[in-house]
Amino acid sequence: MLRQYVKSILVTASVLLAISSCSGHYRIDGIVETIGYEGRQLYLTELLPWKTTRLDSCKVENGRFRMKGCVDSIKLVFLCKDEYPIVPVYMERGHATIRLTPTGNTVSGTRQNDLFFSFLRDKTACDNRYEEVSQKRFSREIQSDAVSLQMIQDSLLSIVGDCEEMICKFMSRNYDEPAAVGVFMMLSVAPTTEIPSLLKRILDAAPQEFLANSYVKGYTERMNYARKDQ
């Protein structure tokens, strides 16, 4: 009798501990509209410089998949097939939907995912504008016309300026959001020995809380960044 009582106490304690360690629940529903996924295992994987951790997994069945569980903090992870990252995902409290389509992959339904992918849509629109104008440089008529070439170059510079303004406005509105760190990570992955002017502009305007983020701090220390007011 005593042994059974002690056992029940331990079980109750472990359940309470599990509940207390889980501040919220996440649920991710996936819709697959492209080939090559049916019956395949997908993983939510945290990709850090010092380790890779699989946090959840499921199998695609009839073009659908689902993952759910506890989350005690917001994490930027990747949905992966085998070891290949497919799309970035914020694991956070709430219900998110992932769509894998031939024209692109998106995540929506929770705050950070909505913020991050709204930025990606705007960034993609800028990139598409740039590419469309850039292609005009290669036509024979344009290449033989110095005035037209200069006009195209001016248009490209204007698009770059518009894109940088869009990025800085997004960051200024969302420095306190984890999605802003994800955007900064995306912008800073290119290897370089100097901080690009856009990233310096972002860092110069950032609050101390953003600069204290582990990824941002690692970047600024690696690049020997020092803000003028520091």
Contacts of 211 (CB under 8 A, 6+ apart): 203, 217, 220, 227
Give pLDDT, residue 42.
Answer: 97
Where are the domains positioned within the chain?
A: 24-109, 113-222
Q: Looking at residues 68-79, what average pLDDT do you find?
A: 94
Q: Looking at residues 67-77, what average pLDDT do you find?
A: 94
What percent of the chain stands above pLDDT 90? 73
With 0-12 / 13-18 / 19 or more C-beta atoms within 10 angstroms meaning exposed / middle / buried, residue 184 is buried
Give pLDDT, residue 22.
Answer: 65
Task: Examine the pLDDT at 64 and tell me if it is beyond 60.
Answer: yes
Q: Looking at residues 105-114, what average pLDDT do you find?
A: 98
Give pLDDT, residue 16.
Answer: 34
Give pLDDT, residue 11.
Answer: 38
Place of tokens 């331990």: 10
47 or 217: which leads in pLDDT: 217
Listed as own residue / partner, the contacts of 157-163 with beta carbons closer than 8 Å and 24 or more positions apart are 159/126, 159/129, 159/130, 159/133, 160/130, 162/126, 163/123, 163/126, 163/127, 163/130
Give pLDDT, residue 228.
Answer: 73
Give pLDDT, residue 146.
Answer: 82
What percent of the chain stands above pLDDT 70? 89
User: Do 183 and 119 form a contact (C-beta atoms < 8 A)?
Assistant: yes
Give pLDDT, residue 89.
Answer: 97
Give the Cβ contact number of residue 162 at 10 Å.
14
Closest CA to 201 of 172, 159, 178, 224: 172
Give pLDDT, residue 20.
Answer: 42
Q: Looking at residues 179-206, what average pLDDT do you find?
A: 94
Task: Examine the pLDDT at 47 and tell me if it is beyond 50.
Answer: yes
Residues 130-160: pLDDT tens digits?
Answer: 999 988 877 877 777 788 888 889 999 999 9
What CATH class does 24-109 carry? mainly beta
1 or 183: which leads in pLDDT: 183
Give pLDDT, residue 141.
Answer: 72
The token duo for 100 is 């894998």
Closest CA to 63 of 83, 42, 89, 77: 42
Give pLDDT, residue 229.
Answer: 64
Give the Cβ contact number of residue 91 at 10 Å.
22
Give pLDDT, residue 48.
Answer: 78
Q: Looking at residues 40-47, what average pLDDT do you find?
A: 94
User: Do 79 and 60 form a contact (C-beta atoms < 8 A)?
Assistant: no
**What rounded mean pLDDT belongs to the chain?**
88
First-to-final CA distance of the chain:
66
Quick one: CA dihedral 141, 147, 150, 156, positive or negative?
Answer: negative
pTM of the model: 0.84
Task: Examine the pLDDT at 86 and tell me if it is beyond 60.
Answer: yes
CA distance 28 to 31: 10
